[in-house]
Structure 1
Amino acid sequence: MQKLMVGEGMSVLDIGCGWGGLAIELAKQGAAEVLGISLSQEQLTLARQRAEEAGFAEEARFDFCDYRDLQGEFDRIVSVGMFEHVGPASYGSFFRAIEEHLAPDGIAVVHSIGRMAPPGGKDPWVDKYIFPGGYIPSLSETLSVVERMGLWVTDIEILRLHYAETLAHWYERFQSRREKALELFDERFCRMWEYYLAACEMMFRNGNLMVFQLQLAHKRDAVPLTREYLYDTRRSGAAIDAGAPLRLGSGCRCSEGRGFQTASVPERVLR
């Protein structure tokens, strides 16, 4: 959230807004106008309901819209977990949309699963059953397109094991509600979902998957010169105890610790 440097009165575009959580949080933090766009009617329906229940229906709006059909200018642009579904053939149109709709002093942040290896193919099982048409980008093929857009890359951060921990929590939470899932679907679905979560966790722990965040801007001085602004001021500048555990840490008008066990396989995956 700090990478966006959202201030009061700003307009924010959320490309691929999911179920609306990020857009609503940005509105809570003072953004005057947040527009979330999606091509999923189910997501839009729930996102609007959540914004209404949170009391931010005016500040956080959600439209059925393709990023290639955008109009208008935004102070901030964010996209979380959507770039994996763009595909290399459309990288140019994706970053061109950011370049065209980001205000001159604006900041954009793109958060995506990526690979720490050269461009590669797809996992056939995931492509068939989980994310048809998805593609995990490498940094090399992503940055080569960003460079052609004339945008400054003001920050790159690689989250190496964070998503492995996320998947582990998802697995545990699924197990705690497995009986409910079984009522809604069937045993085949449950076993497939367990396999997906466990296999993906292992790819982040021992394979070549990671998460990257790109911070982009038109101007080289759009963000502070150092990364200190990203961290809690109570911790910035202070020496970090090497023995202490590290916390993972927490417009458009379309429709009008310290210690990760990196090499081991968790017992739950072996069961």
Structure 2
Amino acid sequence: MTDSYEEPAPTPPADRATLLDGVRFAFGTLTVLPARITRWDRPAARTGMACAPLAGLVVGLLAAVPGVLAALGGGPLLAAAVTVAVPAALTRGLHLDGLADTADGLGSAKPAEAALRIMKQSDIGPFGVVALVLTLLVQVAALSNAYADGWARGALAAVTAAVAARLAMTLASRDGVPAARPEGLGAAVAGVVPRRTAAALTALTTVAAAAAALPLGLPAAARAAVAVAAALLAAELLLRRCVRRFDGVTGDVFGALAETAATTALIVLALG
């Protein structure tokens, strides 16, 4: 992955961006859903990355619907495979590509500049292949386990993982996180989200995940909250490693964080 987001023409800077500007930024950069980006500046990026969990909610719901249909007609394994395929399609595979490229960069054991060059190459190395295969296997296995306990648990797992994945991107955009390159998505969103906003969104998402799972019982609600927390912790550990290794974040790193968070959330939800 090479930060292959299409940047629209720059717009005159402004102090604040509207919510609609932010929603368009979030959906236009993080999904293939029709959303014309009207602004590409720091204020729009700030609002857009704060809206990233909303994009995750939509992606999760769009993945859960065919997953539930497959579970009712074909069983949990088919449902899991379909549910994993939909987010990949809705992101043009960019997050998975970012995971592979980040794995290659981290595994190269080369200085930051050389590792970043490796990540920009169009091919995928052995570390990337292993990371992709294992991640997809774990995601399908975890979702299959969740669907085996009922379509509602499977759907809830899909949505929770998708939201947690995008929330991890929000947290990676907080104040103090530098960009590794002067261009690309990483440079556009690095350090744009205030820490208070990131903390508030984390609390809100955790409570919302627990509330959504509450109809399945108190243990399910607690597990959903733990899944979000575990997903963010795993993503944070990877983020710190990448910042130390690459001197900042890139679009590839954001993709890797999303996949790491989603996979961790699915594992926790499957353990119940």
TM-score, length basis structure 1: 0.27
Structure with the largest fraction of strand? 1
Q: Say which one has the larger Rg.
A: 1
Higher relative contact order (CA 8 A, sep 6+): 2
TM-score by length of 2: 0.27
